[in-house]
Structure 1
Amino acid sequence: MPWLLLLSILCGIDSSNPSEGILNGLTVLTTAPPAYAPRLHCHLINAGAKVVPCPTIETLALCSDQDISELKQAVNDIQSYNYVAFTSRRGIQALFQHDQRGVLKEAFSKQTPCVIALGADAEALVANHGVEPGSVLVPETPTPQGIVDLLKQKHYQAQETTKIRVLCPVPKVVGLTEPSVVPSFLRALQDAKFEAVRLSAYETRWIHPGLLTDIAIDKLKKGQVDVIAISSTAEVEGLQRLLAATNVGVKVVAHGTVTAKGAKSLGLRVDGISTDSSSFAGMVHAIAKCLGRQ
């Protein structure tokens, strides 16, 4: 496919990369949405894998006028929150896209409110949106629960007279079962006595079958795929819809423990888990270990 060839050229080959060649000869089917699949594909290609893209979900801008209005209002009222907790890079992009007055960069750099991001998403806030280095709080564990733990630690001995408000830009799931990760995150914040404010920042939808998915599923059914790489629970449901089955027939590696838990809850066997969910680099080593390359 021309675009996949272009991606491999753009990724380049880093001879100093210790993962280079570790996946030589392997075919990896990915289910990540087009919005962030290229980041995963670059890691896989640089490790020598052949990538078969099979996006089972897509992340889109909000559709309804009410959702868009609420998003813009949240941006304009950003200083009424004590924290903004991002659980995805797509949520970051959505907020900045609706920042008509340019208030976010200044607010986050001054930590009014404090901004929290997971793993490599914190670097993206600095590199892509100009937030001051050092202004972004990064949980030790790059998961939504890691955000909760960080906030509990910061406010363990505090005697606030008003409730700490945490804005949570999360996806609005359309046409799929909402994975438990977001409701569990919001509930954990509330249980810790924080005021968790849910904000629909973008939409997650199932991708209906098309040429790309047809080719990928055909390769899978013909035994031409060595492993499937999944990066979210919603992708699993999307894949199961495409296959009309729970069993995918090959080994599955999940990006992080949260994704693995969600996949298992949908009846999917998970054979490997990336222990580094802060970036997609960990997926290369998880796949290599799962297939006996390490």
Structure 2
Amino acid sequence: MRKKMYVPNKYVKEDEYIADRNALSSENGTFIAKQYYSLIRNAGRLILTIRDADTGEKYFEKIDKDALAEYYHVKVGEWMNTKGEIELNWAGTDADGNPLPTGTKVEVVLQAIPSYYNNVEDVSELNADGMFIRTPFVIDNEKPSIISSETKDNKLKIKMHDNRYTAAVILLNEDADVVGLYAVNQTKAGEDVEMEVDLDKEFSYVALVDYADNNRVYEYDRTAKSIGEESAADMSSDAASVASSDVSDSASTEVSDDATADKSDDAASDSSSDESSEDDSGDLEVAKTSDTKKNIIFIER
């Protein structure tokens, strides 16, 4: 399996980061493997909870003790202990291991509790923003689809729909090589979106992907210049690897910086606060199982 940095859209760069787009499938073999974090002071406990964002139902919890903060080593001349990790291996299931249905809103919450509060049993009393990294997700198992298409002025106009957000349109040739990548930049969930692609590219398939890596591939008739039947091909194999490798490495830092800034209200770090135990540099590692051709992807926060 290959590893690569993942931003909410691993295929193309986008105009902005929108937290509501974060999605995870409970059916396509994806799972949250690890939570990374960096501490600004020692923590007596690290509590990682995955819960229903609406009801508070707890799907997963793991507690680690005695996590050390990062520090600067004068003799070595560099920062040490800059990143810790907690293993999760959570595949979008409830506490009994049942896959969560599409539309379930979940929140991955890491709480870093300073050693000063080791004697506090009810950690719900400790709610300073600087103790938390919060990452929202929505469970999404539905594929995006093309509603209609038309050709005009050497452009293929596509109207598409997803139950949440379509992430990208990908053009592939007969050999499943990626010849075109288009960001959809959808800003409102569940709405129909239109976009145009250039017909000067030699392509045989049009693929739609969403943020949970659900995808649908259509055949393209180059003679009739029209989109035909849905193909049996799947973008989770080699073609997806090619597409994501074209953009993910260059896009990850840029989008991750936006993600940190945009979620500051939820996971703000206040290094001057006595109760603050963690900065906001936390990562979620998301992996994909089953097929060795599928990507191991990382969600950077």
Output the TM-score relative to the length of structure 1.
0.26
Higher strand share: 2
User: Greater Rg, structure 1 or structure 2?
Assistant: 2
Q: Which has the higher contact order (CA 8 A, sep 6+)?
A: 2
Output the TM-score relative to the length of structure 2.
0.26
Higher helix share: 1
